[in-house]
Chains A and B, each alone.
Chain A
Amino acid sequence: MSQEGTGAGGAASAPVVSFENVTKCYGKLRAVDGLSLELRAGETVALLGPNGAGKSTSLDMLLALRKPTRGRIRMFGSDSYHAVKSGRVGAMLQSGGLMPEVTVRELITLVAGFHQRPLPVQQTLRRAGIAGIADQRVDKLSGGQTQRVRFALAIVGECDLLVLDEPTTALDVESRQMFWANMKTEVAEGRTLLFATHYLEEADQAADRILVINKGRLLADGTPAEIKQRAGAKRISFRLDRVDEAFLLGLPALVNLEIRHDLVQIQSSDSDRTLYALLDAGYRPREIEVSSLGLEQAFLAITAEDNGENAPARPGSAEAMETIR
């Protein structure tokens, strides 16, 4: 079973998903701009980006719901439409609706019937945590329950790739943790998983690889550790009486600089070098603190840099959270 993901597609070397220079325009707006990427079998990949970054458009194109204006998308070595219709992809979209006026069981049974390799309905219900509401009507469910039914539709059959668009939106913290625990089982079976999220901690904990996109372009592609590294791994803060901004900007390994009165905050890709250079120049800063950046700050730093802002929003502040959501 676990071999399916790797051996599938006819050619062992064919990536599960590939985007080759994909562009999507809506009139004059370029929602996706020359996106190229590859997913390999068995990877768990998070797609991160602020609203309007082109995440949903990219997933829509991947799932053959929209056509790229330019470029090529391949799945399992064939075109997306046929990969989707052959049942090799299980997908859960934010914009995916459910059929009303039927019970959860009727709906799952229906969609399992479409599938080439369906799982027993009872098993799907259990995996998605909806066995208890199987006989309730779909249109009478709560937001969280609806979300779980949507997830169930993505896993009604054996598939090689799971695509989930913000899968844990509308779930409470406990359900979210349960969701990712279940997800580990799905992925352990050799599936490739691609998910979009705005919960950075989820990307950090669940993904092997993170793709950061902004304005339709791929800004960063790497492990969570690499993404944090790329954005400037450390934050240095201190107080300094006479601040010389030009000098500070010239410090080695500096990624970002923020000055408020006598308080200086620096993001650095090598905090030791930055700090030594400061001390070597004769400065004696007070209240020195060196701390690691979380993925969230890294993400903000990367997108802010791309947006052409020299000072990213302060991590943890309300505005910072707004830019992500």
Chain B
Amino acid sequence: MNGTTAMTPARGTRSMLGTREVRGTLALSRLEMLRVLRNKQYLIFTLAFPVVFYLAIGKQARGVSVYGVPFAAFYMVAMATWSALSGALNGNAQRISQERKDGWIRQLRLTSLPASGYVAAKVIASMVTTVPSIVIVLALGHFYGGVHMAGWKWAVVGAAAWLGAMTFAALAVAIGYKFLPDRAQPLALLVYFGMSILGGLWFPLSGVLGTIGKALPTYQVTRIGAGVLAAGSVSVTAVAVILAWLAGFVVLAALAVRSTAEKV
């Protein structure tokens, strides 16, 4: 017994990503997902709103084409992006901030869970819980909106929205770690509305606002979707812009996490 206990710390240091650490992170991710699914905010903002919007507006503008595709197809892509945005950003920034304030992150640091486990679990949970919302909107576009395309194109459209979700999950970590709840909440909402409206998710923009919007990842995600539908090709520029945002948010998140290492 003594021999084994004495050995344990050494083994733990050498492989911080041993199976127990991975299992621990996955167990935390699983519980995070359960929390999300139990939460009404997820049901309303992430699942219900895009569906309701699509049902209300998706078939209104017949004959109108946006980004070179019929309105029903554009709006499907936009609503999928919107659900990914709200699923990954909205609840998360606020929760991370609150859990940091409440000391849950401190508590976790006293366990054998690796230091990165908490953030990893949040991102994994976001990535998984945005899948159903994206799938539901795409299914709605197909069966209700009458959008038809090849199987691989559906996959690319879904993947683009999912890549967007990853970007916003990183931003949520940055906001949650950087700000206390009283600031994190309004800031997340501001970003959420800014990204939704300026990114042209609710209605396509033109003029100055439209030009500004083109810099946003939300706009570029819908452009990937529309480009695949219209031309069967993925815009390299759009992917590059999204990846740049992702990289930027990851750096911000890492800085925020590091700067709070002593204050958690």
Contacts and interface: CB of A to CB of B under 8 A. Distances in A.
A174 to B, nearest CB: 26
Interface in B1-21: 1-2, 5-6, 8-9, 12-13, 20
For the complex, would chain A's binding face be called helix, strand, loop or mixed by DSSP majority? loop
B103 A111 contact: no
A143 B264 CA distance: 22
Interface stretch (B104-112, B141-149, B166-174, B221-229): B104-112
A82 B110 contact: no
B112 A114 contact: yes
Contact of A86 (B9, B99, B109, B113): B9
A182 interface: no
A98 B12 contact: no
A78 interface: yes
Contacts, number: 108
Contacts of A291: none
A177 to B, nearest CB: 26
B233 interface: no
A83 B103 CA distance: 21
A27 interface: no
Given A96-B103, A99-B99, A66 B2 contact: no
B34 interface: yes
B182 interface: no
A92 B20 CA distance: 23
Interface stretch (B22-30, B82-90, B245-253): B22-30
Interface string A69-109: 00000001010001111111101010111111110001000
Contacts of B43: none
Interface in A54-78: 63-67, 76, 78
A25 interface: no
A9 interface: yes
B35 interface: yes
A230 interface: no
B2 A97 contact: no
B110 A96 contact: yes
Contacts of B20: 114, 116
Contact of A65 (B2, B99, B104, B264): B264
Nearest to A113: B27
A114 B113 contact: yes
Nearest to A107: B31
Given A78-B9, A93-B110, A113 B38 contact: no
B137 to A, nearest CB: 26
* Contact-size category for A: 35 or more
B110 A110 contact: no
B217 to A, nearest CB: 29
Given A82-B13, A102-B35, A111 B99 contact: no
B109 A83 contact: no
A8 interface: yes
A307 interface: no
Interface string A5-21: 00111100000000000
Nearest to B114: A85
Contacts of B35: 99-102
A63 B20 CA distance: 21
A193 to B, nearest CB: 16
A39 B232 CA distance: 70
B1 A153 contact: no
10 contacts: A4-B1, A78-B9, A87-B8, A89-B110, A97-B103, A100-B35, A106-B31, A106-B34, A114-B27, A153-B107
* Nearest 7 pairs of A and B residues by beta carbon: A97-B102, A97-B103, A86-B9, A97-B104, A96-B107, A7-B2, A114-B111
Interface of B: 1-2, 5-6, 8-9, 12-13, 20, 23-24, 27-28, 31, 34-35, 38-39, 99, 101-107, 109-114, 262, 264
Interface of A: 1, 3-4, 7-10, 63-67, 76, 78, 82-89, 91, 93, 95-102, 106, 110-111, 113-116, 150, 153, 160
